[in-house]
Amino acid sequence: MNIMLTCAGRRNYLVRFFQEALDTKGLVFVSDTNSSAATMQEADKAFKMPPVNSPEYLDRLLEICQEHQIRLLISLNDLELPVLAKERDRFLKLSTIPVISKPEVVDTCFDKWATFQFLNKCGILAPKTYLSLDEARQAISSREIDFPLVIKPRWGSASIAIEYVENAEELELAYRYVYKKVQQTILADISAVDPDNCILIQEKISGQEYGLDVFNDFSCNYVNTFVKRKLYMRAGETDRAITVRDKQLETLGAEIANKLGHLGNLDCDVIVNPQGNYVLEMNPRFGGGYPFTHLAGVNLPATLIAWANGEVPDPNWLILQANVLSSKCDRLIVHQQ
């Protein structure tokens, strides 16, 4: 049982979680476009890859999966998910199971306008969202929304180019700034799909933010939802959190899972206030908040490995211990020369 984590970056904790779950019964490989990525130093074997949008990327990944008998393929990057989702059958022919949702599910999550439409259709609360400055101005004029507002890329990742605005002047400036910023980042190619509608204006919801790990099996059937209350953020990622048992949020996770039909883990951001539970984001992959779930007794890596082996997971791997407070911290990695 060999496992590949792609676009692994600095998620050394996931390398360790999978290594512990395998318990010497297989290897954990990683790939990244940067040979100095931290995970490249601690995986059992590491591969430097061309950029995800390179014509050589997919063939190289397929070659690695075949040569090293990769059983589970797990992507950790939003930009890579659409590429791999469309080529799922090519991996399955190599006996590699991509833990990746169907293309339509990936597209619904990656395109934040599609996310908004999906949530509205399901009757799930989401921040009011607009595709153009004119629509946002009209909504402000009619008091449908009010400042502060959020300006963000329609196809976003890693909190790139997100701005918060307090008045009409800032709205105009931030919109132009975010548009220009997107063209200078890794989001440029995907945003070119609809360049006139690649920036969203969204109401800013206040309240307590929660992270949900919503877990489905390989047949996209709902398994469980694991909830943590976010206590501190850093660089757009949860830095400190405490696990909770919350029936309303667990029910919300089940509703999303059953209507979306994703495969594996779905990382969701939710803000709770007196008006209700607002879903901000859905990412069909392991998110930056998963370590807090794992440290509270849940073991999704071990569960995925059991399913890949045709085994029944230990039920204890899917039980969250509440009130576990944990924090991320930096540590140094020595690079082998």
Note the pLDDT tens digit of each residue in 86-95.
Answer: 999 999 999 9
Output the pLDDT for position 331: 85
Listed in order, strand segments (DSSP E) in the chain are 2-6, 28-32, 45-48, 70-75, 97-98, 129-130, 149-153, 163-165, 199-203, 208-216, 222-234, 237-244, 264-273, 276-283, 325-327
- Alpha carbon separation from 84 to 61, 73, 302 (Å, rounded): 10, 10, 23
User: For residue 236, is pLDDT > 80?
Assistant: no
User: Percentage of the chain with pLDDT > 70?
Assistant: 100
Query: What six digits make up the tokens of 97?
Result: 């199971």
Beta pairing, strands 237-244 & 2-6: unpaired
Nearest to 72 by CA among 318, 267, 300: 300
Dist CA 1 CA 294 (whole Å): 21
CB 153 within 8 A of CB 198: yes
For residue 36, count other CB atoms closer than 10 A to its CB.
10
Nearest to 203 by CA among 144, 150, 126, 275: 150
Average pLDDT over residues 283-298: 97
User: For residue 72, is pLDDT > 80?
Assistant: yes
**Residue 102 DSSP symbol:** -
pLDDT digits (tens, 9 = 90+) for 198-214: 999 999 999 999 999 99
Output the pLDDT for position 159: 84
CB 256 within 8 A of CB 268: yes
pLDDT digits (tens, 9 = 90+) for 114-147: 999 999 999 999 999 999 999 999 999 999 999 9
SS3 (DSSP) at 71:
strand
The whole-model pTM stands at 0.96
Average pLDDT over residues 306-321: 98
Average pLDDT over residues 243-254: 98
Dist CA 50 CA 64 (whole Å): 13
Bridge partners (DSSP) of residue 232 are 240
